[in-house]
Amino acid sequence: MNSKILPRFKCLPGRAGQWTLMITGGLLFFLAAGASKAATIWLDDLDLGAVNQSWGDPHKNRSVEDHPLTLGGQVFDRGLGTHAESTLYVRLEGNAKSFSATVGVDDEVQSNAATVQFQIYGDNHLLWQSRVLHSGDGAQTCNVVLKGVQILLLKVDDPSGDISFAHADWAAASFEMANGFRPVTLSSPDEVAQILTPAPRAKPRINGAAIQGVRPGSPFLYTIAATGERPMTFSAKHLPDGLSLDPLTGRITGTLNQLGTYQVTLKAKNRRGSSTRSFTIVVGSQIALTPPMGWNSWNCFAGAVSEDKVKAAAKALVDSGLADHGWTYVNVDDFWQNNYRTKDPTLRGPYRDAQGNIQPNARFPDMKGLADYIHSLGLKAGLYSSPGPWTCGGCAGSWRHEAQDAAQDAAWGFDYLKYDWCSYEDVAQGKVHSSPDLPTWQSSHGTNDTAVASYPYNVMGLCLRAQPRDIFYSLCQYGMRDVWKWGESVQGNAWRTTGDINDSWSSMSRIGFSQDPAAPYAGPGHWNDPDMLVVGKVGWGHLHPTRLTPNEQYTHISLWCLLSAPLLIGCDLTQLDPFTLNLLENDEVLAVDQDILGREATTVWKEGTERIYAKPLSDGSKAVGLFNLGETPTQIKVTWTELGLKGKLHVRDLWRQKDLGRHKDSYTVTVPRHGVALFKVW
């Protein structure tokens, strides 16, 4: 008992003191008794916004398609309607007695295709699981004792692996709680944001792409990316005539007219020492010999982008040190043009002038000035348009102005064009005949004719090729008609393989782990694009820290590097936190993406929630990712046979940049929930 309170009772006079003691004692007994009494807390009374699910939104007291919760003909007025695969974490801190629910596939599913399995984990141990339930199987009930459980996981799996129709109900779901504790829902269990990338050394180290393609006569720009103490000076041996290097900035500029391959040795020097690296320049028909690395405005600003924000991003790319790791492009996405849908005066104005030249909106008063500013930092500039009359956001597109727009992009000085299908769907379906000023866009995203799907990309591809500068050409049409099979034939340097990504585990992992069919089509000059990165502060105009956990972010970056994906940071670079910065500056990890062999990793082994990816590298080694898609830490073993190798091999942990010794036949490691172990094996 608190000794400061005790004397006060002593001071109370006679009977009054006794009464006070009796009343206080009674109150304490009452409180204690009340606290230990179990209270029922309904799952639907908790915040269901924390549910992760593969399709649709979680519904309180309704099915995922917003009907009354119904299982085997019985209607329930309380519960959670979700969709497999679904996870919900609940913090209980040992205060729960039990959890009960009636579960099944909601009767709203008519097809017999649905397969679900409900599982309940307490602190990573499976406590209960339902039978594998199909549509029409009715309900199963559970009542699980939760004594001592800190973190509970309510999970719905789809054992068939195909999530179609997996409408899953946790009906009449409730906790029996003790100690007056109210459960707290979480989208993921708490995780420590471990900083893994070692800090760069003071001595120079040259990073970034070790090869660059350029077309004869096009302006050449390459900035030597190097970490290490400043001041630093740069030099180059065997630089071909036509190019010159600024020794203070490390920028190589000029033009080359002769076809050929030039082997250059780059050198960076500071008071701590120097380092050299070979660099290949290929003058020919191909550019983008390694995937582009940079930033794009969409995932953070979407329709709220402006020239000031883009300039601030470019400056932050340099000031943060990211440019020293090879991050180069600064790309403006949608909303630099005028828009038909909005009333915002900064987005309203003429789409084109009397000569048909595209007009930027009031937020972008000087497009050439913007590109010049980006170049003045040693970086490259990117822009966005659509083959249709309107972009996806409702801004003016390039339809019927393709040659003029390509020439304008080049004249302004842009080095990259993302070309987004959207309203071209209407053109493809013959719905747009008259004035391009008639906003007729509706998204149906899906012509089923490859000739029609590829036509507008070929038109712009040829227009870009006719320009006196190299413009990276990024096809954005969400993977329609297996674009990876024909993207290169329309001059594409990269093509999106799927719909848009968002900062959820289900979106990122679904996209990232489904790239195998496109993998054989990637190579120097033409890359599969699984969409932009969702780390840091993202939010499409409403910024928030990414909802991916730290381990999920390691998975995201590792996987995108293994996939030889274009790496476009999607966050607000002026608000980089130390974890995100550390994640984006691991030169050994980025070197996997930038490897000059240009082979994309594929799955070499897959079982349950475990995946092993391998990517052959130009030095004969392999980059290997061991991924755990499951909800609990798992031991994963990779055998050298799976990698097509044998013997006693070196293993290096790329995130920690640490050798792990030589290992015979295999290597085994525990991989955290939704996490990765990324190695180089040779």
Under the rule (CB under 6 A), what is the footprint of ligand GAL? Answer: 298, 333-334, 391-393, 420, 422, 476, 500
48's CB contacts (< 8 A; 6+ apart) are: 58, 59, 60, 80, 88, 185
Burial of residue 462 (CB within 10 Å: 0-12, 13-18, 19+) is: middle
Cα–Cα distance for residue pair 460/503, rounded to 1 Å: 31
Choice between 378 and 393, CB closer to ligand GAL: 393
Least distance to ligand GAL, CB of residue 422, Å:
6
Least distance to ligand GAL, CB of residue 662, Å:
44
Least distance to ligand GAL, CB of residue 415, Å:
18
The CA–CA distances, whole Å, from 453 to 404, 446, 482, 515, 516 equal 22, 8, 10, 21, 22
Which position among 420, 426, 529, 587 bears the catalytic label? 420
State the Cα angle at 305 between 302 and 310, rounded to 5°: 120
535's CB contacts (< 8 A; 6+ apart) are: 546, 548, 553, 556, 557, 569, 570, 571, 580, 583, 584
Choice between 391 and 555, CB closer to ligand GAL: 391
Asked if residues 104 and 72 have their Cβ atoms less than 8 Å apart, the reply is yes
Choice between 234 and 419, CB closer to ligand GAL: 419
Choice between 333 and 488, CB closer to ligand GAL: 333
How do beta strands 251-254 and 243-245 pair? antiparallel
Choice between 251 and 418, CB closer to ligand GAL: 418
Q: Among this protein's residues, is 437 annotated catalytic?
A: no
Choice between 121 and 419, CB closer to ligand GAL: 419
Least distance to ligand GAL, CB of residue 425, Å:
11
By beta carbon distance, the residue nearest ligand GAL is 392
Choice between 133 and 422, CB closer to ligand GAL: 422
CB-hemisphere CA count at 13 Å for 470?
24
Inter-axis angle of helices 402-412 and 367-376, nearest 10: 50
Least distance to ligand GAL, CB of residue 474, Å:
10
> Quick one: which of 633, 641, 624, 630 has its CA closest to 677?
624
Cα–Cα distance for residue pair 271/273, rounded to 1 Å: 6
> Quick one: which of 588, 631, 596 has its CA closest to 617?
596
Asked if residues 488 and 454 have their Cβ atoms less than 8 Å apart, the reply is no
Cα–Cα distance for residue pair 625/679, rounded to 1 Å: 6
Cα–Cα distance for residue pair 144/580, rounded to 1 Å: 39
Q: What share of the chain is helix, strand, coil (3-state, %, to 5)?
A: 25, 35, 45
CA 18 to chain centre: 67
Least distance to ligand GAL, CB of residue 521, Å:
20
Choice between 333 and 595, CB closer to ligand GAL: 333
DSSP H helical ranges for 563-654: 578-583, 587-593
Least distance to ligand GAL, CB of residue 393, Å:
4
CB-hemisphere CA count at 13 Å for 30?
6
Inter-axis angle of helices 450-465 and 402-412, nearest 10: 40
3-state helix/strand/coil string of 243-269:
EEECCCCCEEEECCCCCEEEEEEEEEE
Q: Among this protein's residues, is 420 annotated catalytic?
A: yes
104 Rama sector, left if φ>0, alpha if ψ -120 to 50, beta otherwise: left
Which position among 500, 516, 577, 653 bears the catalytic label? 500
Least distance to ligand GAL, CB of residue 408, Å:
19
Least distance to ligand GAL, CB of residue 499, Å:
7
Least distance to ligand GAL, CB of residue 563, Å:
17
Choice between 175 and 478, CB closer to ligand GAL: 478
Cα–Cα distance for residue pair 22/9, rounded to 1 Å: 12
Choice between 333 and 593, CB closer to ligand GAL: 333
Residue 517, SS3?
helix
- φ, ψ of residue 238 to 5 degrees: the values are 65, 30
Least distance to ligand GAL, CB of residue 333, Å:
5
Asked if residues 128 and 120 have their Cβ atoms less than 8 Å apart, the reply is yes
The CA–CA distances, whole Å, from 230 to 210, 271, 273, 418, 520 equal 22, 9, 11, 35, 42
Choice between 334 and 631, CB closer to ligand GAL: 334
Which two tokens mark 2? 């608190």
Least distance to ligand GAL, CB of residue 357, Å:
22
Choice between 336 and 554, CB closer to ligand GAL: 336
DSSP 665: S
Choice between 298 and 336, CB closer to ligand GAL: 298
Least distance to ligand GAL, CB of residue 472, Å:
15
Which two tokens mark 43? 């799952």
Which residues are catalytically annotated? 420, 500
